[in-house]
Chain A
Amino acid sequence: MTTPLVQIDMQYWKSPAARDGYRENPLPPGVNRRSFLEAAGFATSLVALGGCQRAPTEYVPVLNAETDNVRPGRARSFASTCGECPAACGMLVSVRDGRPLKMEGMPEHPLSRGGLCAVGQAQTMTLYDKHRLAGPLVATKDAHEESTWQDVDAQIAAALDKAAMTGGAVRVVTSSSSSPTLRHAIDAFLKRFPDGRRVVVDPTSVSAILDAHEQTHAARRLPHYRLEKAKVIVAFEADFMGTWISPVEFAAAWKTGRTLPHRQAAAHHDELHGDELHDEDAQHEAKATATPEDEKLSLSYHVQFESRMTLTGSNADERHRVHPGEFGLLLSHLLHRVAKLAGQSGSQQPFAAASVPSDILDRLAERLWQHRSAAVVLCGSQNVADQALVNHLNHLLDAYGNTIDLDRPSQQRQCDDKAAALLVDELRGGKVAALFVVGVDLVHDLPAGEQLREAIAKTPLSVTLADRMDDSAAAAKFVCPDQHPLESWGDAQPATGLYSLRQPTIRPLTNTRSAIESFAAWSGAAGTALSLVRTFWKDHVFAQQDREPDFTRFWNRAVHDGFVQTSAPAEQDQKAEFTGDTPQFVTTAPARSDLTLVLHSQVGVPTSRHAHNPWLQELPDPITKITWDNCATFSPRRANELGIADNDVVELKLDGGQTLQLPAFVQPGQHDDIVAVALGYGVRGTERFAEVGPQWLESVPTVGDNGRVGVNAAPMLKLIDGTLRFVCDGLSVAKTGRRHVLATTQLHDHIEVPANVAPPGSQPRPIVQETTLAEYAADPAAGAPHAHHVEGELWPDDHASGQHRWGMAIDLNACNGCSACLIACQAENNVPVVGRDEVARHREMHWIRIDRYYAGGEDDPTVAHQPMMCQHCANAPCETVCPVLATVHSSEGLNQQVYNRCVGTRYCANNCPYKVRRFNWFDYAHDDEFANLALNPDVTVRMRGIMEKCSMCVQRIQEGKIEARRQGVPLEDGAIRTACQQSCPTNAILFGDLNDPDSAVAQAAGDARRYAVLEELNVRPAVSYLRKVRNATKESDHV
Chain B
Amino acid sequence: MSSAATPMPAAAHLPPPPIPPLIGGDKTLAGVTRDICQPLEARPTRLWWIGLALAASALLLGVVSVVYQIAMGIGVWGLNKTVGWGFDITNFVFWVGIGHAGTLISAVLFLFRQRWRTSVNRAAEAMTLFAVMCAGIFPLIHMGRPWLAYWFAPYPNLRGPLWINFKSPLVWDFFAISTYFLVSALFWYFGLIPDLATIRDRRWPGLRTRICSVLSLGWTGSARAWHRYETVYLLLAGLATPLVFSVHTIVSMDFATSVIPGWHTTIFPPYFVAGAIFSGLAMVLTLMLIARKTMRLEHYITSRHVDAMCKLMLSMGCIVGLAYGTEFFMAFYSGNPYEQFVFLNRAGGPFRGAYWTMVICNVVIPQVLWLQRVRANFAAVFVISIFVNIGMWFERFVIIVTSLHRDYLPSSWASYTPTIIEITTLIGSFGLFFTCFLLFCRFIPVIAMAEVKGVLEPASDRHPSAKSGEAA
Q: Whose C-beta in chain A lies nearest to the C-beta of B82?
A: A915
Whether A906 pairs with B411 at a CB distance below 8 angstroms is no
Q: Tell me the bound Cα distance from A767 to B410 in angstroms.
A: 9
Is B76 among interface residues, defined by CB-CB distance under 8 A? Answer: yes
Q: Tell me the bound Cα distance from A470 to B106 in angstroms.
A: 75
Q: Give per-residue flags for A830-864: 1 if the beta carbon is below 8 A from chain B beta carbons, else 0.
A: 00000000100111100001011100000000000
Given contacts A757-B345, A917-B81, contact A910 B152 (CB under 8 A): no
Whether B259 pairs with A1017 at a CB distance below 8 angstroms is yes
Q: Whose C-beta in chain B lies nearest to the C-beta of A846?
A: B81
Q: Tell me the bound Cα distance from A882 to B144 in angstroms.
A: 13
Q: Tell me the bound Cα distance from A576 to B79 in angstroms.
A: 62
Is B459 among interface residues, defined by CB-CB distance under 8 A? Answer: no
Q: Tell me the bound Cα distance from A922 to B72 in angstroms.
A: 7
Whether A849 pairs with B144 at a CB distance below 8 angstroms is no
Whether A694 pairs with B72 at a CB distance below 8 angstroms is yes
Whether A697 pairs with B344 at a CB distance below 8 angstroms is no
Whether A909 pairs with B144 at a CB distance below 8 angstroms is no
Q: Tell me the bound Cα distance from A943 to B145 in angstroms.
A: 10
A868 interface neighbour in B142, B174, B409, Cβ under 8 Å: B409
A844 interface neighbour in B81, B167, B260, B344, Cβ under 8 Å: B81
Is A38 among interface residues, defined by CB-CB distance under 8 A? Answer: no
Whether A906 pairs with B409 at a CB distance below 8 angstroms is no
Residues of B within 8 A of A880 (CB): 165, 167-168, 257
Q: Tell me the bound Cα distance from A849 to B169 in angstroms.
A: 30
B384 CB to closest chain A CB (Å) equals 31
A390 CB to closest chain B CB (Å) equals 37
Residues of A within 8 A of B349 (CB): 754, 757
Q: Whose C-beta in chain A lies nearest to the C-beta of B172?
A: A883
Q: Quick one: which of B143, B406, B411, B420 has the most chain A CB within 10 A? A: B411
A residues sitting closer than 8 Å to B (CB atoms) are: 694, 696-698, 746-747, 749-751, 753-754, 756-759, 762-763, 765, 767, 838, 841-844, 849, 851-853, 866, 868, 877, 880-885, 901-907, 909-911, 913-915, 917-923, 943-947, 1013-1014, 1017, 1019
Q: Tell me the bound Cα distance from A878 to B148 in angstroms.
A: 20
Is B207 among interface residues, defined by CB-CB distance under 8 A? Answer: no
Is B377 among interface residues, defined by CB-CB distance under 8 A? Answer: no
Q: Tell me the bound Cα distance from A749 to B410 in angstroms.
A: 6
**B33-82 CB contacts (< 8 Å) to partner A:** 68, 72-76, 78-82
The 3 A-B pairs of least Cβ separation, nearest first, read: A904-B144, A945-B144, A921-B75
Q: Tell me the bound Cα distance from A901 to B146 in angstroms.
A: 12
B453 CB to closest chain A CB (Å) equals 46
Total chain B interface residues with beta-carbon distance under 8 A: 61
A838 CB to closest chain B CB (Å) equals 7
Whether B411 pairs with A905 at a CB distance below 8 angstroms is no
Whether A751 pairs with B168 at a CB distance below 8 angstroms is no
Q: Whose C-beta in chain B lies nearest to the C-beta of A749?
A: B410
Q: Tell me the bound Cα distance from A904 to B420 in angstroms.
A: 21
Residues of B within 8 A of A696 (CB): 72, 75-76
Whether A697 pairs with B260 at a CB distance below 8 angstroms is no
Given contacts A757-B344, A920-B144, contact A907 B75 (CB under 8 A): no
Whether B165 pairs with A885 at a CB distance below 8 angstroms is yes
Is B149 among interface residues, defined by CB-CB distance under 8 A? Answer: yes
Given contacts A880-B168, A1019-B259, contact A903 B144 (CB under 8 A): yes
A923 CB to closest chain B CB (Å) equals 6
Whether A905 pairs with B143 at a CB distance below 8 angstroms is yes
Q: Quick one: which of B139, B151, B409 has the most chain A CB within 10 A? A: B409
Whether B81 pairs with A918 at a CB distance below 8 angstroms is yes
Whether A911 pairs with B260 at a CB distance below 8 angstroms is yes
Q: Tell me the bound Cα distance from A698 to B80 in angstroms.
A: 15
Is B162 among interface residues, defined by CB-CB distance under 8 A? Answer: yes
Is B225 among interface residues, defined by CB-CB distance under 8 A? Answer: no
Q: Tell me the bound Cα distance from A694 to B419 in angstroms.
A: 15
Residues of A within 8 A of B169 (CB): 881
Q: Quick one: which of A843, A906, A917, A1014 has the most chain B CB within 10 A? A: A906
Whether B259 pairs with A853 at a CB distance below 8 angstroms is no
B442 CB to closest chain A CB (Å) equals 35
Q: Give per-residue flags for B128-158: 1 if the beta carbon is below 8 A from chain A beta carbons, else 0.
A: 0000000000010011111011011000000
**B321-361 CB contacts (< 8 Å) to partner A:** 337-338, 340-341, 344-345, 347-349
Residues of B within 8 A of A902 (CB): 144-145
Is B84 among interface residues, defined by CB-CB distance under 8 A? Answer: yes
Residues of B within 8 A of A841 (CB): 78, 80
Whether B409 pairs with A851 at a CB distance below 8 angstroms is yes
10 contacting pairs across A/B (C-beta < 8 A): A694-B72, A698-B76, A754-B349, A759-B341, A885-B165, A906-B84, A914-B409, A921-B73, A943-B145, A1014-B409
Whether A757 pairs with B75 at a CB distance below 8 angstroms is no
Q: Tell me the bound Cα distance from A866 to B411 in angstroms.
A: 10
Residues of A within 8 A of B254 (CB): 907
B402 CB to closest chain A CB (Å) equals 11
Q: Tell me the bound Cα distance from A14 to B142 in angstroms.
A: 90
B172 CB to closest chain A CB (Å) equals 9
Residues of B within 8 A of A853 (CB): 410-411
A919 interface neighbour in B76, B144, B170, B406, Cβ under 8 Å: B144
Residues of B within 8 A of A906 (CB): 74, 79, 84-85, 142, 144
Given contacts A757-B349, A903-B143, A915-B407, contact A884 B258 (CB under 8 A): no
Additional pairs, 20, CB under 8 Å, beyond known A697-B76, A901-B162, A905-B144 = A694-B72, A696-B72, A757-B349, A767-B410, A838-B75, A877-B258, A877-B259, A883-B170, A883-B171, A883-B174, A884-B151, A884-B165, A885-B164, A903-B145, A903-B152, A904-B144, A905-B170, A906-B84, A915-B412, A1019-B259
B408 interface neighbour in A765, A849, A881, Cβ under 8 Å: A765
Is B204 among interface residues, defined by CB-CB distance under 8 A? Answer: no
Given contacts A880-B168, A909-B84, contact A759 B79 (CB under 8 A): no
A907 interface neighbour in B72, B73, B84, B151, Cβ under 8 Å: B84
Q: Whose C-beta in chain A lies nearest to the C-beta of B416?
A: A842
Q: Tell me the bound Cα distance from A919 to B83 in angstroms.
A: 11
Whether A919 pairs with B84 at a CB distance below 8 angstroms is yes
Is B443 among interface residues, defined by CB-CB distance under 8 A? Answer: no
A866 CB to closest chain B CB (Å) equals 8
Q: Tell me the bound Cα distance from A849 to B81 in angstroms.
A: 13
Whether A753 pairs with B341 at a CB distance below 8 angstroms is yes
Q: Tell me the bound Cα distance from A501 to B52 in angstroms.
A: 77
Q: Tell me the bound Cα distance from A1019 to B258 in angstroms.
A: 12
Is B364 among interface residues, defined by CB-CB distance under 8 A? Answer: no
Q: Give per-residue flags for B299-340: 1 if the beta carbon is below 8 A from chain A beta carbons, else 0.
A: 000000000000000000000000000000000000001101
B154 CB to closest chain A CB (Å) equals 10
Whether A1014 pairs with B408 at a CB distance below 8 angstroms is yes
B152 interface neighbour in A750, A883, A944, Cβ under 8 Å: A883
Is B376 among interface residues, defined by CB-CB distance under 8 A? Answer: no
Is B439 among interface residues, defined by CB-CB distance under 8 A? Answer: no
Q: Tell me the bound Cα distance from A881 to B256 in angstroms.
A: 12
Residues of B within 8 A of A877 (CB): 258-259
Q: Give per-residue flags for B79-109: 1 if the beta carbon is below 8 A from chain A beta carbons, else 0.
A: 1111011000000000000000000000000
Q: Whose C-beta in chain A lies nearest to the C-beta of B405?
A: A842
Is B370 among interface residues, defined by CB-CB distance under 8 A? Answer: no
Whether A757 pairs with B341 at a CB distance below 8 angstroms is yes
Whether A882 pairs with B411 at a CB distance below 8 angstroms is no
Is B438 among interface residues, defined by CB-CB distance under 8 A? Answer: no
Q: Tell me the bound Cα distance from A946 to B410 in angstroms.
A: 25
Whether B337 pairs with A843 at a CB distance below 8 angstroms is no
Given contacts A698-B419, A884-B165, contact A910 B73 (CB under 8 A): no
Q: Tell me the bound Cα distance from A694 to B348 in angstroms.
A: 35
Q: Tell me the bound Cα distance from A938 to B82 in angstroms.
A: 29
Given contacts A697-B420, A884-B165, A903-B143, contact A851 B411 (CB under 8 A): yes
Q: Tell me the bound Cα distance from A754 to B352 in angstroms.
A: 14
Given contacts A906-B79, A914-B408, A917-B81, contact A759 B340 (CB under 8 A): yes
Is B223 among interface residues, defined by CB-CB distance under 8 A? Answer: no
Whether A911 pairs with B152 at a CB distance below 8 angstroms is no
Whether B409 pairs with A767 at a CB distance below 8 angstroms is yes
Whether A885 pairs with B410 at a CB distance below 8 angstroms is no
